[in-house]
Amino acid sequence: MRKNLLFIAMIPMLMGFQQADRPAVSLPAPPAIAKPARVNLILTSGGKLATQISGDAGVAGRAVTANDPVRIASVSKLVTALGVMRLVDQGKIDLDRDVGEYLGWRLRNPAFPGQIITLRMVLSHTSGLRDGAGYSLSPSDSLEQMLAKPEAWDSAHTPGAYFSYANLGSPVIAAVMERASGEPFDQLMQRLIFKPLALDACFNWSGCSAERRAQAVTLLRPNGDLARDPPLAAGQSECIFTRASDGSCDRSGYRLGHNGSAFGPQGGLRISAQDLLRIAAVIKDQGKPLFSQSAFAEMIRPQWRFDGKNGDDLDGAFYGYGLGIDLQPDGWMGHVGDAYGLRAGLWVNSATGEIRVRYATMVDEATYVGSCLDRCP
């Protein structure tokens, strides 16, 4: 009995020796999680710039800056519209001409075969186009074939009479621009917009410098999963347009006006918040230095105002719309962006001249979109 008691008394001592002899185990640290980026730039009517910038550029520990380019989502549509208005001003595009005459094939809503579709309708989201058939095409896909599908159209409303926001209109716009100018969309936008404004910006990275691409904000989901534009290793490159169905990236067979979506006219613009201020200045200055004041007046003239039944205002997000430009109450005009966990807004006040450029990343897709006018989620 005494032996048993002696052994029991020694157990803590033996356990202590075992613990002391056991090598320490170091668990790997959990991967660092990037903080959501929030970039807010406000240029007052007096020319004073106020900035609020926080978070990471999609990589933990790399602070975001106002000069980092980001995929700005549907704000791209506004910039695409600026390119259209330059071609209108040059007499190369007629807003009220049958779009099919530019494309080289008949474009009609199957439910309204007698009604022509104009670029004015497409730019103002009143053409009847819908995203039911998709809107992102590979280089081998045909825009003509996609638009022949009934699900690409609204069968209940006459073209020109009802507003419904759709991404599919942007490939149509880009295809018309290509056919009217004889240039591919990415290069055309460089010539029409980015080079005149001295901006290192581009659609789907086509035309941006390698240094610019290296600064890109990587877009992440709220849980940290990659959404778009991962960091690239030195010397690494990526496809500058939507890949073919077999994964290849060969531009040699690109056909003008055949696809329209390859360079992301609906949302593929890569540009910094700082450079978006220069885009906004064109709106503030009524088209200068890109096009005439009369062309600008046509661009911002309301093509649609919500009256409670003449369109889908997306729970109050849309109040009115011009040619590629969203018209909000109290003189605000610009555009909102929403894709891949990013929410963005570019806004100019026609009365005061104030400019607001802002975006936030890692936003839950279930969050109400709104306008990003007063704040982003």
DSSP letter (8 states) at residue 127: S
Partnered with residue 228 across adjacent β-strands are 219
HEC string of 33-102?
Answer: CCCCCEEEEEECCCCCEEEEEECECCCCCCECCCCCEEECCCHHHHHHHHHHHHHHHCCCCCCCCEHHHH
Amino acid at 305: R
> How distant, in Å, are the alpha carbons of 34, 37, 79, 94, 107 from that of 117?
46, 40, 22, 12, 7
Both tokens of 57, joined, read 């550029």
**The 69-71 sheet, strands edge to edge:** 69-71, 269-272, 202-203
pLDDT tens track of the chain, all 377 residues? 444 444 444 444 444 434 445 555 556 656 678 999 999 999 999 999 999 999 999 999 999 999 999 999 999 999 999 999 999 999 999 999 999 999 999 999 999 999 999 999 999 999 999 999 999 888 778 999 999 999 999 999 999 999 999 999 999 999 999 999 999 999 999 999 999 999 999 999 999 999 999 999 999 999 999 999 999 877 788 888 878 777 888 888 889 999 999 999 999 999 999 999 999 999 999 999 999 999 999 999 999 999 999 999 999 999 999 999 999 999 999 999 999 999 999 999 999 999 999 999 999 999 998 999 999 88
pTM: 0.91
HEC string of 245-312?
Answer: CCCCCCCCCCCCCCCCCCCCCCCCEEEEHHHHHHHHHHHHCCCCCCCCHHHHHHHHCCCEECCCCCEC
Name the residue with tokens 């009517």. 45
DSSP letter (8 states) at residue 330: G
377, 368 contact by CB (below 8 A):
yes
Both tokens of 138, joined, read 């590979």
Residue 144, H or E segment:
helix 143-147
Q: Which domains does the chain have, with CATH numbers?
A: 38-232+263-360 (3.40.710.10)
Amino acid at 109: N
